[in-house]
Every structure is written in C-alpha cells, then in structure tokens.
Structure 1
C-alpha cells in the first residue's frame, strides 16, 4: 500500500496548513495524515480550488505544474496523463465547482501519486460535499 493511501492523503499533501480531518497524532514527518480518505480528498479539492481562486490557475497545465513541479516530478508526463484521464486538452479551463470534472481530475491525480486509485465515486462525492 502506498504512503498516500496509508496516510489517507492520496494527494500526498505536505505539512503546512492545519487541515480539517487531520489525525491528532502525525507520525509522518513530511506528509499529512488524515482520519479518513474523504478528508484527504477534500484537502486536494480545496487546494485545486485555491489554485483557481488565488492564482487564476484554471487549466490542467497550470494546476499540475503547481501541484507537481518539475523539481520533484515529470510534470509534462503528469500533465499528459491527467489530460487523458479527464478527457480535455492541457489548456482547457477546468470548472473547479463541477463535481463530475473534479471527480475525474482528483482520480487522475490519485492514480499518479499512488500508482492506484482505490476510491469509489461515492467517496469522492462525500469529499466534495465536505467543502
């Protein structure tokens, strides 16, 4: 099982913000640990919305370049993979308030971050409802 799945943090979000749903005791020095996957997925959704609202990053290219910068990732490969899974070009504007679109985007990121995507659509919808 990957670290992100074990930590209920499928986006591999690093410690910085005090997220809702964090485990009281954090034993991973680098990455947040949540009490349930819905809370980790919710944090992913919040971050992606922040990219759009604070930085005007509203395309997959812009979002993934910020999420998975080239100093740590094959950003171009990541963008290509996510675009294929979401079914849009890298320059298509993403509606961060659209559940169906965000479900596809989050599932693609989870797959890239963990090598698997074990979460149901219902679980991702529950995370979206926590926003």
Structure 2
C-alpha cells in the first residue's frame, strides 16, 4: 500500500505552498504542497489556518470552513463538508467553536484528505499546542 502524499509530506491537510510556515522541511521537492519536518508541524499549520478561518473570516459552520479549505473548483466540497460534519457528530450548518473542536476537526480533515488518519491523539495535541503558542 502506498502512503498518501499528505502523510509522506508530514502535511496531512495538503496545504499548498505560499506562507512560510514554521517547521517547513529544508527540501521542498513537492511542487504543489508544503513538506513539513514533522507531522506535528503540518498539524500545527492546519490548526493555525482553521483558527484564522473563524477569527479573521467569521466562518462558523463545518460547511463554511470546508468551503474555504477545499473549494469546489478543486474538490467535491459538499461531500467533504458532510463527511467531516458526520465525523464530528454535527449538522454541516451548525455553528461550532473551532478552538474547542480542533481535537476532533483535525483528524476528520486528515481522514478526508488522506483516506486515513494515522496520528495518535498525542501527536494531534502536540500540533494543536504548537498552534496555540502563536494564537
């Protein structure tokens, strides 16, 4: 079985090149997506983006968040939002507090992006903790 690109790149959210993220690997051999030095740094970047979606852009529901995370020009955004909402146990249009739901939201997005979610709760929490250091 091949390892999904996002897992290989320690970038389980499949974040595209753009921002100069903390924890980027020195070699950026993937022309489309960032490569991080550890899964925690990739998860940290995901958490920072999701927190900013709510804080800076006022996105409150899973549907709004996923529409920005995975726009319909590249994804089946509706199916993605419904899948993530189901994994969180909420309606896709129900308001959520991203900061409170990161321990559930990050693994749900990772699962959808990669077809698997290989990270322990401890790794997810370390990524969240790194994100909250700058929040």
- Do the structures match in fold with TM over 0.5? yes
Equivalence for 1:87 = 89
Equivalence for 2:42 = 40
Unaligned runs of 5+ in 1: none
Equivalence for 1:77 = 79
Does the residue aligned with 1:103 lie in a helix, a strand or coil?
helix
Mapping for residues 1-16 of structure 1, pairs under 5 Å: 1-16=3-18
Equivalence for 1:108 = 108
Q: Deviations over 1:43-76 (max 9, x none)?
A: 0000001111111012101000000111111111
Unaligned runs of 5+ in 2: none
Q: How many residues align?
A: 129
Q: TM-score scaled by structure 1?
A: 0.96
RMSD (Å), alpha carbons = 0.8
Q: TM-score scaled by structure 2?
A: 0.93
Task: Write the distance in 1 (CA, Å) between the matches of 2:52 and 2:94.
Answer: 18
Equivalence for 2:118 = 118
Equivalence for 2:53 = 51
